[in-house]
């Protein structure tokens, strides 16, 4: 139970109803639907969908395999480029990536090939007798990976494939990172994140040590001394703050903390319910938070953003999910004051209207109040600097708060690589993190083998 929400009631619906509310957001395609959808693909020679895919999956090839009823071949094609293709098929914003680039996505048809759903179909229906990738002969090299999120897992799998031994250091009880702790429950159901991790580990040569935290009981100096290379997949572990009074009052909480609690809950009826709820933010996390509170039974959910709809980080698809859940999207308003009741608990928030003046966001002076039993902050994640608090780690060059890397994902320290959200490369997407891990692993492998030849 989250202490700051202990005073709130529990959902009114029973366990069966709540389970239905958090069932699969997009039901999987059946065999007939998959065959029909795959037949719509034109198998473009210069496929723009591939160029739009951060993990460079050969999309026309795997769709052709589905059309030819070669499901194993389709799955192999996907996994060779993206070992976490199952989760990416479920959470990746395909509507603004591969499907937006699809040549069928034009004014006459307005219906791109459903690439994400076809990818899920292939991986859900492939029946591998053993892990589809054969580990190379052992090289005798050991690589440390910090963080068992998408970037770290992808890096570890590719390194193990090349014959290196990998030790992943993970602070949480479970591997998976955001897939396990930070994605809306209705997007990854039935413990899919852990099943995908179990599948990935079948390659062999990967050890995960849980309860180990860089900057607490682990230092970069130690790792660099004990391993031939290090990959940092630290993510963004800290939540940004509003910087206003009463931000820690009962009823105020980071959205990521609640989502984590919800995803790990065995009994949804025991969760706290904010009947009147405010979510601050405009990204996918804000949408996830608002929709999940609505699905728990909240009657009044307001998502408030200081700019307009066109500036929201959440895609139009995500915004439509929120609207379908009766979430009210309120724009051009910024938090001014947390409102408390006589017991010091959140009772609402005062906002100030905003507008643009010569391209700059300015306050209008007009204010309004919204009643709320809880306020959830989803205003962005920040890098946790405590992770890089030893002498060697402090030498890492940074781009703002994030770690600076070159085109090979190598940091300013030789032998230390980084990828995913803790770097400033690309978008903060699961599929982008997977690609970073894969590319870093290839760079590490090339360097380690070069060193062997030089010796």
Residues 6+ apart with CB under 8 A from 26: 90, 117
Residues 247, 334 share a domain: yes
Residues 371, 247 share a domain: yes
135: in domain: no
At which of 380, 400, 435 does a domain end? Answer: 380
Q: How far is Cα 436 from Cα 417, in angstroms, rounded to an integer?
A: 10
411: in domain: yes
101: in domain: yes
23: in domain: no
**What domain count does the chain have?**
3
Per-residue pLDDT at 453 = 62
360 pLDDT more than 90 = yes
Residues 344, 357 share a domain: yes
DSSP string, 291-321: HHHHHHT-SEEEEE-SS-GGG-SS-HHHHHH
Residues 311, 340 share a domain: yes
Residues 247, 231 share a domain: no
454 pLDDT more than 70 = no
Per-residue pLDDT at 235 = 92
132: in domain: no
The CA angle 47-53-55, to the nearest 5 degrees, is: 120
Per-residue pLDDT at 427 = 74
Task: Report yes or no: 425 and 142 within 8 Å, Cβ to Cβ.
Answer: no
Residues 426, 363 share a domain: no
Q: How far is Cα 264 from Cα 266, in angstroms, rounded to an integer?
A: 6
Q: Which of 385, 388, 414, 84 is nearest to 230 (CA)?
A: 414
Residues 250, 227 share a domain: no
Number of alpha carbons in the 13 Å side-chain half-sphere of residue 50: 17
Q: CATH number for the domain including 115?
A: 1.10.1060.10
19: in domain: no
Higher pLDDT, 454 or 259: 259
8: in domain: no
Per-residue pLDDT at 426 = 72
Structure tokens at 152: 């770290």
Residue 392: pLDDT band with limits 50, 70, 90: very high
Question: What integer best gives the mean pLDDT of the chain?
Answer: 94
- Model confidence over 273-316: pLDDT tens digits? 999 999 999 999 999 999 999 999 999 999 999 999 999 999 99
Q: Give Cα separations from 357 to 182, 302, 363 (angstroms).
A: 36, 26, 10
* Alpha helix (H) residue ranges in 134-202: 150-161, 178-181, 192-201
Q: How far is Cα 234 from Cα 298, in angstroms, rounded to an integer?
A: 34
Task: Report yes or no: 193 and 180 within 8 Å, Cβ to Cβ.
Answer: yes
Q: CATH number for the domain including 338?
A: 3.50.50.60
Domain that holds residue 222: 142-237+383-454
Give the CA diameter of the chain.
73
Per-residue pLDDT at 201 = 97
Task: Report yes or no: 67 and 35 within 8 Å, Cβ to Cβ.
Answer: yes
Residues 263, 337 share a domain: yes
Residues 365, 280 share a domain: yes
- Model confidence over 61-79: pLDDT tens digits? 999 999 999 999 999 999 9
At which of 380, 396, 420 does a domain end? Answer: 380
Q: Give Cα separations from 299 to 278, 364, 421 (angstroms).
A: 11, 30, 34
At which of 125, 153, 173 does a domain end? Answer: 125
433: in domain: yes
Residues 251, 118 share a domain: no
Residues 432, 314 share a domain: no
Residues 243, 337 share a domain: yes
């Amino acid at each position: 139970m989250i202490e700051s929400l202990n005073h709130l009631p529990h959902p009114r619906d029973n366990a069966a109803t709540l389970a239905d509310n958090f069932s699969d957001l997009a039901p999987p395609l059946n065999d007939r639907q998959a065959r029909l959808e795959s037949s719509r693909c034109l198998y473009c020679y210069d496929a723009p969908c591939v160029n739009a895919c951060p993990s460079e999956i050969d999309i026309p090839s795997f769709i052709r395999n589905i059309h030819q009823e070669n499901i194993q071949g389709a799955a192999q094609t996907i996994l060779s480029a993206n070992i976490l293709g199952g989760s990416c098929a479920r959470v990746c914003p395909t509507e603004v990536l591969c499907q937006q680039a699809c040549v069928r996505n034009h004014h006459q048809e307005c219906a791109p090939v459903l690439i994400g759903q076809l990818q899920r179909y292939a991986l859900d229906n492939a029946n591998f007798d053993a892990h589809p990738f054969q580990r190379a002969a052992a090289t005798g090299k050991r690589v440390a990976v910090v963080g068992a999120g998408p970037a770290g897992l992808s890096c570890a799998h590719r390194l193990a494939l090349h014959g290196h031994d990998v030790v992943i250091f993970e602070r949480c009880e479970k591997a998976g990172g955001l897939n396990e702790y930070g994605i809306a429950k209705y997007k990854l159901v039935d413990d899919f994140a852990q099943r995908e991790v179990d599948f990935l580990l079948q390659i062999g040569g990967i050890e995960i040590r849980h309860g180990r935290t860089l900057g607490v009981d682990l230092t970069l100096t130690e790792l660099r001394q004990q391993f031939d290379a290090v990959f940092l997949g630290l993510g963004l572990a800290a939540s940004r703050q509003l910087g206003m009074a009463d931000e820690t009052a009962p009823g105020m909480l980071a959205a990521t903390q609640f989502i984590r609690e919800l995803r790990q809950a065995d009994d949804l009826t025991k969760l706290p319910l904010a009947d009147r709820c405010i979510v601050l933010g405009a990204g996918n996390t804000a949408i996830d938070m608002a929709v999940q509170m609505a699905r728990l039974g909240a009657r009044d959910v307001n998502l408030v953003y200081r700019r307009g709809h066109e500036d929201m980080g959440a895609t139009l698809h995500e915004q439509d999910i929120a609207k379908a859940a009766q979430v009210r999207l309120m724009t051009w308003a910024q938090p001014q004051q947390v409102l408390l009741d006589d017991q010091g608990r959140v009772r609402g928030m005062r906002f100030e209207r905003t507008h643009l003046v010569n391209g700059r966001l300015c306050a209008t002076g007009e204010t309004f109040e919204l009643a709320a039993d809880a306020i959830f902050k989803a205003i962005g994640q920040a890098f946790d600097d405590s992770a890089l608090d030893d002498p060697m780690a402090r030498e890492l060059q940074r781009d703002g708060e994030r770690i600076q890397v070159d085109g090979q994902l190598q940091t300013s320290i030789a032998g230390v690589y980084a990828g995913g959200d803790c770097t400033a490369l690309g978008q903060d997407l699961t599929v982008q993190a997977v690609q970073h891990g894969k590319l870093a692993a290839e760079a590490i492998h090339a360097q380690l083998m070069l060193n062997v030849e030089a010796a």
